[in-house]
């Protein structure tokens, strides 16, 4: 029997996802028609032995999370539970804290997945590789190839190319170590609780020496506290993949992930993709439309568009490379490019909403989406996709370019490169 844990973090993170994360926790944000972690659970559901998925975070459970868990359980016929940390315990503190729950039923192995990564997760292949390792090995890490420069933003792994043993691990190094990065997906053997217990006890003992950076001695960082010392011990391995993988840290990354998940549907779920036909809107490339959305047949959608529940798309509307969330209205002849239109927002007729893609450099093999902050060093907004918050009203015949509009605003004119508070 196997289990899977998804680390969903908590409310203090997700700042590059604002204002959307103010309304809905980032792991529940819809990408390609489904919440981010739905894609994780769907990948788990394809590994026959996974009998339980445990979400670990430090969110107060709310209706949206409960509804999501109930409907995912029904759909995938897997037990799904949320376990709440009393405070942020780090990427491994929660695993140790809830060890009895994780080990209940004696799973042979368990996956751990960061919620803020997306991809074509090779879980079955990781399992196969892990099973072949020497008995007593603790973990197989999903390894991703990155560029030299971008690797510095991730955990970096030096591996033995023949045995795939981790020889050296550095979390977000200052200088170049390796282009193999930690993809934030792991397969653990239950024996991992031995080093976790050791670190936990060490931290507990040292709690009497005051360190202002550590709020609780129960914090364990999987990367620095476990992977760094375990490198070269013969217990840590990598499974390298060249399949699609990306972080989802920003709204620009959500648009990028949306495109890739839609492309994956071409082989896995053609039924989720809209098709052309009599009386239907014109579809270009990959588009997903919720069955409850109302789309005028003269609208042109795509490529890479997701239209949410009860959205209303008027006559002659053009949408590409965008996510239109539940209940949003795009009035006649409006145009939406590289944008996210928030829940129940209204875009007036003949209005243009446009953002700038943050795609990885297509000329650099293995380039990932850039980890940029919202602002430039001189305090200006970095050009990125346009985000229209929930319930925003945009009038007719205006242009909103590279801007972020906070929820509930009624705009009166055009805006460019601004955060509208």
Residues engaged in binding ligand GDD (CB under 6 A): 7-9, 13, 56-58, 85, 88-91, 94, 114-117, 154-155, 171, 181-184, 223, 247
Min dist. Cβ of residue 254 to ligand GDD (A): 14
Which C-beta is closer to ligand GDD: that of 35 or that of 302?
A: 35
What are phi and psi for residue 393, nearest 5 degrees?
A: -115, 120
Alpha helices in 77-192 (DSSP H): 90-97, 99-103, 123-132
**Using an 8 Å Cβ cutoff, are 88 and 218 in contact?**
no
CB of 166 to ligand GDD, least distance (A): 12
CB 94 to ligand GDD: min, Å: 4
How far apart (Å, rounded) are the C-alpha atoms in residues 214 and 345?
41
Residues 6+ apart with CB under 8 A from 231: 158, 166, 167, 168, 169
Q: How far is CA 368 from the centre of its chain?
A: 14
Q: How far is the CB of 199 from ligand GDD (least distance, A)?
A: 15
355 in Cβ contact with 338 (< 8 Å): yes
Query: Which residue matches tokens 């405070």?
Result: 87
Sequential DSSP letters for 175-220:
S---SEEEEEEEEE-GGGHHHHHHHHHHHHHGGGS--TT-S-TT--
Minimum separation from the CB atom of position 183 to ligand GDD (A): 6
- Cβ distance to ligand GDD smaller for residue 228 or 420: 228
Burial (CB count within 10 angstroms: exposed 0-12, middle 13-18, buried 19+), residue 84: middle
Q: Least CB distance from residue 146 to ligand GDD, whole Å?
A: 9
- Please report how close the Cβ of residue 200 comes to ligand GDD at its closest, in angstroms: 14
> What strand order describes the sheet that includes 346-347?
294-295, 312-313, 329-330, 346-347, 393-394
Nearer of residues 58 and 415 to ligand GDD, judged by Cβ:
58
Question: Quick one: 54 or 317, whose CB is closer to ligand GDD?
Answer: 54
Smallest separation (angstroms) from ligand GDD to the CB of 270: 29
Give the number of C-alpha atoms closer than 13 A to the C-alpha of residue 64, restricted to the C-beta side.
13
Q: What letter would DSSP give residue 174?
A: S
Instruction: Answer whether 90's CB lies under 8 Å from 96's CB.
Output: no
């Amino acid at each position: 029997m196997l289990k899977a844990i998804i680390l969903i973090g908590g409310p203090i993170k997700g700042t590059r996802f604002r204002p959307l994360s103010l309304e809905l926790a980032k792991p529940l944000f819809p990408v390609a028609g489904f919440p981010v972690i739905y894609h994780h659970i769907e990948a788990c559901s394809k590994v026959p032995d996974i009998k339980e998925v445990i979400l670990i975070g430090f969110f107060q459970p709310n209706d949206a999370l409960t509804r999501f868990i109930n409907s995912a359980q029904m759909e995938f016929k897997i037990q799904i539970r949320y376990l709440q940390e009393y405070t942020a315990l780090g990427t491994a503190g929660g695993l140790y804290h809830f060890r009895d729950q994780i080990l209940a039923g004696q799973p042979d192995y368990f996956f751990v997945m960061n919620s803020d990564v997306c991809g074509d997760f090779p879980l079955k292949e990781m399992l196969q590789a892990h099973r072949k390792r020497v008995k007593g090995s603790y973990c197989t890490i999903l390894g991703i190839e990155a560029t030299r420069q971008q690797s510095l933003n991730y955990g970096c792994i030096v591996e033995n190319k023949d045995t795939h043993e981790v020889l050296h691990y550095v979390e977000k190094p200052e200088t170049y170590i390796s282009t193999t990065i930690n993809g934030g997906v792991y397969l653990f053997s239950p024996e991992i609780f031995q080093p976790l217990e050791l670190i936990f006890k060490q931290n507990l003992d040292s709690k009497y020496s005051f360190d202002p950076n550590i709020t609780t001695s129960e914090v364990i960082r999987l990367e620095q506290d476990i992977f760094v010392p375990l490198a070269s011990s013969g217990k840590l391995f990598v499974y390298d993949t060249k399949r699609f993988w990306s972080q989802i840290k920003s709204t620009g990354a959500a648009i990028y992930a949306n495109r890739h998940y839609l492309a994956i549907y071409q082989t896995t779920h053609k039924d989720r993709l809209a098709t052309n036909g009599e009386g239907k809107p014109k579809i270009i490339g990959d588009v997903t439309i919720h069955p409850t959305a109302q789309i005028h047949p003269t609208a042109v959608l795509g490529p890479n568009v997701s239209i949410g529940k009860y959205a209303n798309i008027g006559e002659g509307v053009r949408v590409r490379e965008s996510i239109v969330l539940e209940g949003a209205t795009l009035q006649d002849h409006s145009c939406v490019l590289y944008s996210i239109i928030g829940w129940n927002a209204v875009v007036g007729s003949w209005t243009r909403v446009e953002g700038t893609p943050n795609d990885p450099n297509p000329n650099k093999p293995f380039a990932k989406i850039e980890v940029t902050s919202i602002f430039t060093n001189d305090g200006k907004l970095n050009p990125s996709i346009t985000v229209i918050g929930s319930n925003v009203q945009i009038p007719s015949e205006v242009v909103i370019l590279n801007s972020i509009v906070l929820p509930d605003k009624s705009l009166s004119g055009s805006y460019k490169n601004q955060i509208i508070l």
